[in-house]
């Protein structure tokens, strides 16, 4: 930029110029007059009388060509790309956090406490296998008995005993894992009662 050589002199001269204030209402009068002219038919007719000019074809071709050329704005592009990347990352983190919270929220932390006491019990000892040899003997004899095979209940009784044998084993397995309690003993007693009924029926046909 070229600097003014007599800057001080010029500044003094400008400050020495007289100042004038426009009369009150002047600007309002001008605005009103312009509005009236714009809305008047004479103003519209003057606009209609203005000449029209059609640009030559090469002007539009040049404009189209210019529009099709890629616009190079490296500084803005870098800034924009960086900003969008960061914004996308933030949004991704927020979305992932929300999704993770929604999908895998495992609830609040569990509170864990311990207690101990002493109880007195009357233990009993039971041999669960005491009657098994007898039951096996009866069921095997029934299975091989020609008389039993003639009975309509033959398959049903064998099937029932097999089911009950498996249930009995399930209870014993659970006792092995978790120890015995009155409910499991009751389950076992119910099963043994049913097994006894079946074995008694089988015994009639051997």
Q: Is 155 in the site for another protein (CB under 8 A)?
A: no
Chain length of the chain: 206
Q: Contact with another protein (CB under 8 A): which of 175, 203, 205, 206?
A: 175
How many Cα atoms sit within 13 Å of 195 on the Cβ side? 22
List 120, 133, 146, 150, residue binding another protein (CB under 8 A)? 120
Rule CB under 8 A: choose which of 14, 15, 110, 133 binds another protein. Answer: 110
Q: Is 199 in the site for another protein (CB under 8 A)?
A: no
Task: Evaluate whether 135 touches 199 at the Cβ level (below 8 Å).
Answer: yes
What is the total count of residues that contact another protein (CB under 8 A)?
57
- Provide the minimum distance between the beta carbon of 199 and another protein in the complex, in angstroms, as a whole number: 12
Q: Are 177 and 190 in contact, with CB atoms under 8 Å apart?
A: no
From residue 34, alpha-carbon distances to 29, 30, 38, 50, 106 in Å are 9, 6, 6, 19, 73
Told to check if 22 binds another protein by CB under 8 A, we report: no
- The tokens describing 1, both together, are 């930029």
Using the rule CB under 8 A, which residue among 3, 8, 109, 146 binds another protein? Answer: 109
What sign has the CA pseudo-torsion 93, 96, 99, 104? negative
Minimum gap (Å) between residue 64 Cβ and another protein: 55
Tell which one of 18, 51, 70, 179 touches another protein (CB under 8 A).
179
133 is a site residue for another protein (CB under 8 A): no
Choose which of 6, 72, 129, 150 interacts with another protein (CB under 8 A): 129
**CA distances for 181 relative to 54, 134, 167, 174, 191, angstroms:** 104, 26, 17, 11, 16
Question: Which residues here bind another protein, judged by CB under 8 A?
Answer: 102-131, 160, 167, 170-172, 174-194, 196
């Amino acid at each position: 930029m070229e600097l003014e050589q007599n800057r001080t002199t010029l500044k003094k001269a400008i400050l020495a110029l007289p100042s004038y204030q426009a009369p009150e209402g002047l600007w309002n009068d001008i605005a009103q007059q312009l509005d009236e002219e714009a809305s008047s038919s004479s103003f519209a007719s003057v606009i209609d009388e203005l000449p029209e000019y059609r640009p030559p074809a090469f002007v539009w071709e040049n404009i189209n060509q210019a529009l099709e050329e890629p616009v190079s704005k490296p500084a803005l592009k870098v800034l924009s790309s960086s900003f969008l990347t960061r914004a996308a990352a933030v949004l991704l983190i927020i979305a992932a956090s929300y999704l993770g919270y929604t999908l895998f929220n495992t609830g609040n932390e569990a509170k864990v406490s311990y207690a101990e006491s002493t109880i007195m019990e009357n233990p009993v000892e039971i041999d669960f296998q005491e009657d098994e040899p007898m039951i096996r003997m009866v069921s095997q004899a029934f299975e091989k008995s020609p008389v039993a095979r003639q009975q309509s209940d033959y398959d049903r009784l064998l099937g029932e005993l097999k089911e009950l044998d498996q249930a009995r084993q399930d209870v014993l397995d659970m006792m092995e894992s978790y120890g015995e309690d009155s409910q499991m003993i009751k389950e076992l007693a119910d099963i043994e009662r049913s097994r006894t009924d079946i074995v008694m029926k089988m015994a009639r046909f051997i």
